[in-house]
Amino acid sequence: MATIIGGLTTSHIPAVGNAIARGQKDDDYWKPFFDGYPPIHAWLEKHKPDVAINIYNDHGLGFFLDQMPTFAIGAAHEYINEDEGWGIPVLPPFPGDAKLSWHIIEGMVEDEFDITSCQELAVDHGFTVPMQLFWPGLGDNPDMPRAIPISANTVQHPIPTLKRALDFGKSLGRAIRSYPEDIKVVVLGTGGLSHQLDGERAGFINKEFDQMCMEKIVTDPEELTKISRHELVRQAGAQGTEFLMWMMMRGALGDKVRPLHQNYHIPVSNTGAGTMMLECIE
């Protein structure tokens, strides 16, 4: 049976992709952010997951405001990265695991989640930046896993509630664990934390709220489901709704997790950037 070994969180800011491409990781501006990742690299090298479930939100490459599924799961053999206009170099295709994808989709539909299944999906920085951060070198990294993208709507309101996001993760976890093959899976929750990129509150960051979320997502994720969608926008900013993906990841891990590492740094591209490594407790 498949085993979920843990969950990882990270921001997926497009400027990070540029910093990687330009070799700026040791610059004064970027170093406190990139210093949060070596402990995760060591953990991944030790455990070598076979598959990474990458939960992200599309920013207009695969979907747009006229057609924005609430939850979409990739079911392709590979995922193509395309130019988004940020100046980030286009990356080679990412290998998928279509067999596991369809197993997850079938299981979650049985759980009464309405899933958009994507046999083709162009993946943007929301997906590619976390893969670069966790597996430097990507295709040249011998430990790079197969990947399955899961896109959540955090852009076109009405967006899912935090409770729905956590419940999605629980269903995802059940589907993964019921897969009959002996593989190891890591789940990525990407985006956020607090940030707002436009409007009167452009540049808004709420450090106190971010740190509360990083604490509660470990010890009491159910408590976070009491935060309404409007309150989430008020506390975390218009783009801070990306915390939904963290909750989806957390739901998949099960009741108990062990926090192994975390890093929080502001400001990085006007974002409260949080990184966490959570290990599942059987």
Specify the pLDDT at position 198: 85
Residues 6+ apart with CB under 8 A from 202: 196, 270
Rg of the Cα trace of the chain?
Answer: 17
What digits encode the pLDDT tens for the residues 120-133? 999 999 999 999 99
Check whether 2 has a pLDDT greater than 80. yes
Q: Tokens standing for 96?
A: 């998928």
User: Beta strands 71-74 and 184-190: pairing type?
Assistant: unpaired
Q: What is the mean pLDDT of residues 268-276?
A: 92
What digits encode the pLDDT tens for the residues 241-252? 999 999 999 999
User: Is 26 exposed, middle or buried (CB count within 10 Å of its CB: 0-12, 13-18, 19+)?
Assistant: exposed
Q: How far is residue 103's CA from residue 56's CA, in Å, rounded to a whole number?
A: 20
Specify the pLDDT at position 203: 86
Check whether 236 has a pLDDT greater than 80. yes
What digits encode the pLDDT tens for the residues 53-104? 999 999 988 888 888 999 999 999 999 999 888 888 999 999 999 999 999 9
Triad 116, 119, 120: Cα angle to 5°? 105
For residue 54, CA distances in Å to 76, 156, 170, 196, 270 come to 14, 20, 15, 23, 23
User: How sure is the predictor about 191, in pLDDT bands with cuts at 50, 70 and 90?
Assistant: very high
The residues annotated with a catalytic role in the active site are 125, 195
Check whether 185 has a pLDDT greater than 80. yes
Q: Tokens standing for 61?
A: 């490459």
CATH number of 3-280: 3.40.830.10
Does residue 133 contact residue 37 with C-beta atoms inside 8 Å?
Answer: yes
Q: How far is residue 177's CA from residue 217's CA, in Å, rounded to a whole number?
A: 21
Specify the pLDDT at position 204: 92
Range from 54-58, 180-184, 265-269 carrying the lowest mean pLDDT: 265-269
Specify the pLDDT at position 61: 84
Q: Taking each helix axis as running N to C, give the angle between helix 207-219 and helix 229-236, from 0 to 180 degrees, rounded to the nearest 10.
A: 130
Check whether 164 has a pLDDT greater than 90. yes
Specify the pLDDT at position 118: 97
Instruction: State the average pLDDT for the chain.
Output: 95
Specify the pLDDT at position 64: 86
Q: What is the mean pLDDT of residues 218-230?
A: 97
Specify the pLDDT at position 62: 87
Does residue 96 contact residue 74 with C-beta atoms inside 8 Å?
Answer: yes
Buried b (16+ CB within 10 A) or exposed e, 80-97: bbeebeeebeebeebebb
Q: What is the mean pLDDT of residues 266-273?
A: 88
Q: What are phi and psi of 144, to 5 degrees?
A: -60, 125
Strands (E), the chain: 3-10, 51-56, 71-74, 78-81, 94-95, 116-118, 122-123, 146-152, 184-190, 257-265, 273-280
User: How sure is the predictor about 171, in pLDDT bands with cuts at 50, 70 and 90?
Assistant: very high
Check whether 282 has a pLDDT greater than 80. no
Q: What percent of the chain has pLDDT over 90?
A: 89
